[in-house]
Amino acid sequence: MIRFRQIEAFRSLIMTGTSVGAARKMHVTQPAISRLIADLEADLGFSLFSRIGGRLNPTTAGLRFYKSVEENFLGLERLKQVADMIRDEASEGLTVACMPVLATTLLPPILADFVERHPGVPIRVDSVKVPEVLLSLQNHKADVAISQAFPAVAGIEVQTLLRTRALCAMPAGHRLAKKKVVRAQDLRGERIIGWLPNSRQAYEAEQSTISAAEERPNYTVLTDTAHTRYAMVAGGLGVSIVEPFAAKVWRAHGVVVRPFEAPADYAIEYEYALSYPSSGIRSDLVASFRESALRVIERYSFDD
């Protein structure tokens, strides 16, 4: 039966080119390498090396076998890297994937609640967009995530936290700031800061709403992050239909928000969710983080 030590000796011999080099690489004697290779050849039923003038040269069969060995060995090395990473990282740590706008608004109070019950637990926060959130969960790079909701995916649990309507953001002193509610038709003639088409936000609903109110919307800037949108509004570059979380951050920078009302067919709504691998809720830390998120959402205020 082929043994791993034999395969390791064969690979080392191919890589170093000499039995002396292979022995040094494996921290064994040269005779030990020769014995391992001989045993491997006996188990395989064919020669791996031709011995000419004292030199070992891989046979055609040996080279074919090495190709398969290397493919499988890379898989083993990858497993070793993962094991090293798991060993080096704190076993009781928590990695949270989170959209940037939520990482700066909703996540801090959630973590404050969580840390109060789990002092000393290391926490890593990865600020990523929704597609990267899903990849992080699928690749087990994140234990849990908070983001805009996404369609059901096998192996990932998604729990809705809240749904909110869009707001309209404008610079302080703007004519629309006098209104209690901004409607789609109020945007006629306004410079608009919009979403990039590749955004996972309510891009299509926004396009439909604005196009229904104005034949040719006057877009000045297109961007794919909430904070950038608010920053463009603060810079006087136009008005924007925005999500609500960043409003409290940008209020101090002269941005005013008002509820945005669109026809029922074009209503813009944002849905936020907590997600984690299906096996993740079995983790005490993930379950506790979920409890913290639900507690904070229950009392969260967009006006504070």
Residues 225 and 282 reside in one and the same domain: no
Of the three residues 60, 88, 116, the one that is the final residue of a domain is 88
SS (H, E, C) the chain: CCCHHHHHHHHHHHHHCCHHHHHHHHCCCHHHHHHHHHHHHHHHCCCCEEEECCEEEECHHHHHHHHHHHHHHHHHHHHHHHHHHHHHCCCCCEEEEECHHHHCCCHHHHHHHHHHHCCCCCEEEEECCHHHHHHHHHCCCCCEEEEECCCCECCEEEEEEEEEECEEEEECCCHHHHCCCEEHHHHCCCEEEEECCCCCCCHHHHHHHHHHHCCCCEEEEEECCHHHHHHHHHCCCCEEEECCCCHHHHHHHCEEEEEEECCHHHCCEEEEEEEEECCHHHCHHHHHHHHHHHHHHHHCCCCC
Is residue 304 included in any domain, yes or no?
Answer: no
pLDDT of residue 244 exceeding 60: yes
Same domain, residue pair 176 and 201: yes
Q: In this structure, are 112 and 240 located in the same domain?
A: no
What is the CATH classification number for the domain harbouring 260?
3.40.190.10
Last residue of a domain, one of 65, 88, 111: 88
Per-residue model confidence (pLDDT) at position 80: 65
Most confident stretch, 82-86, 284-288, 295-299:
295-299
Residues 188-210: tens digit of each pLDDT: 888 999 887 655 555 566 766 76
209 and 149 share one domain = no
Note the pLDDT of residue 254.
Answer: 95
30 and 65 part of one domain:
yes
Does position 211 have pLDDT exceeding 60, yes or no? yes
Q: What is the CATH number of the domain that holds 13?
A: 1.10.10.10
Q: Range of 115's domain?
A: 94-163+270-299
239 domain-assigned: yes
Same domain, 147 and 282: yes
What is the total count of domains within the chain? Answer: 3
Do both 73 and 102 map to the same domain? Answer: no
Q: Confidence class of residue 257 from pLDDT cuts 50, 70 and 90?
A: very high
One domain for residues 228 and 103: no
Task: State which of 72, 88, 104 marks the end of a domain.
Answer: 88
pLDDT single digits (tens) 161-173: 999 989 999 999 9
